Structure 1
Amino acid sequence: MRLNSLLPLPLLVVLGCGAPALAQMPMGQEAATCSAPAELPAELQSWRSPVPLKAGVDRKTAAKAMLTAGQAVTLALSPTPKIAYPVRPAKPGGSVSYGGLASFTVAQAGTWRVALGSSAWVDVVKDGKAATSIAHGHGPDCSGVRKMVDYSLEPGTYSVQVAANGADSLTLLVTRLP
């Protein structure tokens, strides 16, 4: 009697698969095949030309890490244990993750978007309170925009808290939606 005739069919299928096949995306989720970069909407136009910016590690240094609305940055982050977040992030990350703080000014009330090139946790904070997000989504396929979070903001100065990032930098963009 052959060995494979003794094994149930599902076990044969698993044994016959290599590790890459087991690591595939869940059913119904296929990775986008990109032959060219995606067209970006007007509010994301600077995504492909970010400027470098070192994130702050506390309120004082966050004030010096000023974001310009509509300009993408490559944000240099610090190890999570070095960050003094004004508001504890819901997902702060562990000792091997990265985070940071930056500031931006809202001149005109409206819907503001924070776009990230990773799945890091993001909060927008003013006066010791995290703003409530009004929408979440992904950027266009093949754009490099992994996550977008929208907020309804009034004029003032805000901090962006990035937490639980897996690398020591990420692309980030804060922009007002039309």
Structure 2
Amino acid sequence: MLLTALALSLATQSCRSYDTALPRSLRGWTRSGRVLDTGHAVTLPRTGDSIRTLLRIRKAGTFGIALSEPGWIDVSPERGKPLDSVAHGHGPQCSTIRKIVRYKLRPGTYRVTVNKLKATRARLMLVSY
């Protein structure tokens, strides 16, 4: 019983600060940029219930789209159907990253759509793995 109480207390610890101990691949989350890319985040307004933006990939690899709000992330070739994600999960503990969805991408231009947003704007960042 004592171990259960200890585990619950550790799981519900509140954070004293946010976004201060991000892993290297996410350190750009606290910097603002103008386009969706690695090294910085971009804050975009919602139109209707979604955000739409373009993403340019220069070198093939696995990339994540980090998002600050609850929502559904789709990545599609400029002309094509949404790609299947290869992984998804939450952002690190004590961060303002709500979720990260990963995709295998080849060089080219992609459409990024974030649907089912309730917030009027959201922060996004491209993460290279």
TM range (shorter): 0.7 to 0.9
**Which residue is 1:157 aligned to?**
109
TM-score scaled by structure 1? Answer: 0.61
> Aligned residue for 1:74?
43
Residue by residue over 1:1-33, the C-alpha shift from the partner in whole angstroms, topping out at 9 and shown as x without a partner, is xxxxxxxxxxxxxxxxxxxxxxxxxxx7x5440
Whether 1:47 and 2:3 are equivalent positions in the alignment is: no
TM-score, reference length from structure 2: 0.83
User: Identity of paired residues, percent?
Assistant: 36
The amino acid of 1:49's aligned partner reads R
The DSSP-based 3-state class of the residue aligned with 2:38 is coil
Query: How far, CA to CA, are the matches of 1:31 and 1:102 in structure 2?
Result: 35
Which AA in structure 1 matches 2:15? C
- Give the drift of 1:36: 2.4
Q: Please, which runs of 5 or more residues in structure 1 have no aligned partner? A: 1-27, 54-65, 80-97
2:29 partner SS? helix
Match of 1:147 in 2: 99
Give the superposition deviation at 1:109: 0.7
1:50-101 Cα distance to aligned partner (Å, 9 max, x none): 34x5xxxxxxxxxxxx42333201111112xxxxxxxxxxxxxxxxxx2121
The structure in which a higher percent of residues are helix is 1
Runs of 4+ with deviation above 3 angstroms: none
State the superposition RMSD in angstroms.
1.9
Write the letter of the residue equivalent to 1:77.
R
- Matched residues in 1 for 2:119 and 2:70: separation? 11
Q: Which runs of 5+ in 2 are unaligned?
A: 1-7
Higher RCO (C-alpha 8 Å, min separation 6): 2
Aligned residues: 119
| Greater Rg by CA | 1
